[in-house]
Amino acid sequence: MAEKSFKYVIVGGGVAAGYAAREFAKQGVKPGELAIISNEAVAPYERPALSKAYLFPEGFARLPGFHVCVGSGGERLLPEWYPEHGIELILGTEIVKADLAGKTLVSAAGETFKYQILIIATGSTVIRLTDFKVQGADSKNIVYLRDLKDADDLLEAIKAKKNGKCVIVGGGYIGLELGAVMKINNFDVTMVYPEPWCMPRLFTPEIASFYEGYYGNKGIKIIKGTVAVGFTADANGEVKAVHLKDGQVLEADIVVVGVGGRPLTTLFKGQVEEEKGGIKTDSFFKTSVPDVYAVGDVATFPLKLYNEIRRVEHVDHARKSAEQAVKAIIAAEEGKTVEEYDYLPYFYSRSFDLSWQFYGDNVGDTVLFGDNSPTSSKPKFGTYWIKDGKVVGAFLEGGNPEENKAIAKVARLQPQAKSLEHLKTEGLGFASKI
């Protein structure tokens, strides 16, 4: 097969690839210099839409509506945008071998791609229950959500099992967002997770109790402190029941599993330095191998604000790290430098009529403020995290754009807090005055 050569290759076709392509275009990449190789069949799109509007029964989102870069208020890069900018978009192509020393990639079909500079933007893959040999975990209608095909599979199941029973396995982002979506689709929803409260990596028990109460009021049942240990299927191989470790058996027409992901670094194992489960980079996303960069979920990078190395799985970081890497690549070629990546951790979620944002670090003591009653018609509350007398993190449910900017500023500037009591009394006012 013919060999193709490019100056720059991005391997992976997710959010990071799309934002990197836009930055290359801004920086004046020449026609034929850049290729994106993706095993997905469509041009890069904003992945968060899949767990929200894509699955709505009405007013749903469809491509080309959420191609990148609409997620950050930018121009939508339709499939034709790439060739118009001289960028080769190579879709439906899985890379099975990467030779970093030889600057060569090989596809499943045996195609060879040569590059001068590589950007690894392979993202994460979901953790599957079949990985743990859970009995019956390969039954039909047990679904995961990572890409467009997964979302389409879930849509088909929703149509086929109209008004049925859905069990959500996992109490994190996917669990909470899809629990809401399945309820909106008029399913009888039960959520199951092993932790004592939902979203334990971020939420305090007080924050979690609001969401659990709110979901309960919507008719969603929550079972905590246990896990799914097996599934039974009917004669067609379709899931019909979920068996829990505590002995409970739940009827199910659809099971949605959201138990986390892992970065896709397998292609590069043993060729590049790794740390904390990802590929180790510097503040410009350069790896230990010359001319190889890693961005998004797969990168473990210096988080300047906290003077430590971290890996961040979030769309905001995928966008910003991709742009940083491209700026750094072009600057290096021109004998210039760019500023170090100075990222403020940011997470958000939307479900039902709720919308929260979090900035900073969730370490230290916490203070809850505002109205966090699950029965409120317009709940609005937040939490500050305080470490060494400084506010280092802030969470807000129901905030408007100005209020969300205010909590971001607090997390970035880390102002001194007089006392926990003072913060509790001041509430959102503390952030608004910074």
pLDDT digits (tens, 9 = 90+) for 33-46: 999 999 999 999 99
Cα→Cα distances 344→200, 224, 431, Å = 20, 32, 16
Q: How confident is the model at residue 161 (pLDDT cuts 50, 70, 90)?
A: very high
**Beta strand pairing status for 390-397 and 354-360?**
antiparallel
Is the pLDDT at 320 greater than 90? The verdict is yes
pLDDT at 336: 97
What is each CA distance from 321 to 276, 302, 308, 314, 316, in whole angstroms? Answer: 17, 12, 16, 11, 9
In this model, does residue 256 exceed pLDDT 80? yes
pTM equals: 0.97
**Complete domains list, the chain, with CATH:** 3-125+262-333 (3.50.50.60), 129-259 (3.50.50.60), 353-432 (3.30.390.30)
Quote the CA–CA distance of 358 and 362 in Å, as a whole number: 9
**Per-residue model confidence (pLDDT) at position 2:** 75
- Residues 6 or more apart whose CB falls under 8 angstroms from that of 234 comprise 240
Contact 244, 298 (CB under 8 A): no
pLDDT tier, 1 (very low <50, low <70, confident <90, very high otherwise): low
Average pLDDT estimate for 79-102: 98
Mean predicted confidence (pLDDT) in 310-337? 97
Separation CA 272–CA 289 (nearest Å): 6
End-to-end CA distance of the chain: 61
pLDDT (mean) for 79-84: 98
- In this predicted model, what pLDDT tens digit does every residue of 118-153 receive, in sequence order? 999 999 999 999 999 999 999 999 999 999 999 999
* Confidence check: pLDDT of 173 > 80: yes
Return the half-sphere exposure (C-beta side, CA atoms, 13 A cut-off) of residue 23: 22
Please state the φ and ψ torsions of residue 133, each to the nearest 5 degrees: 55, 35
pLDDT number for residue 89: 98
- C-alpha angle 264-340-99 in degrees, rounded to nearest 5: 35
Could you check whether the bond before residue 198 is cis, i.e. omega within 30 degrees of 0? no
Whole-number pLDDT of residue 369:
97
Q: What is the per-residue pLDDT for 75?
A: 94
Give 340's pLDDT tier (boundaries 50, 70, 90).
Answer: very high
Question: What number is the average pLDDT over the span 167-172?
Answer: 98
Confidence of residue 255 (pLDDT cuts 50, 70, 90): very high
Residue 432 in this model has a pLDDT that exceeds 90? yes
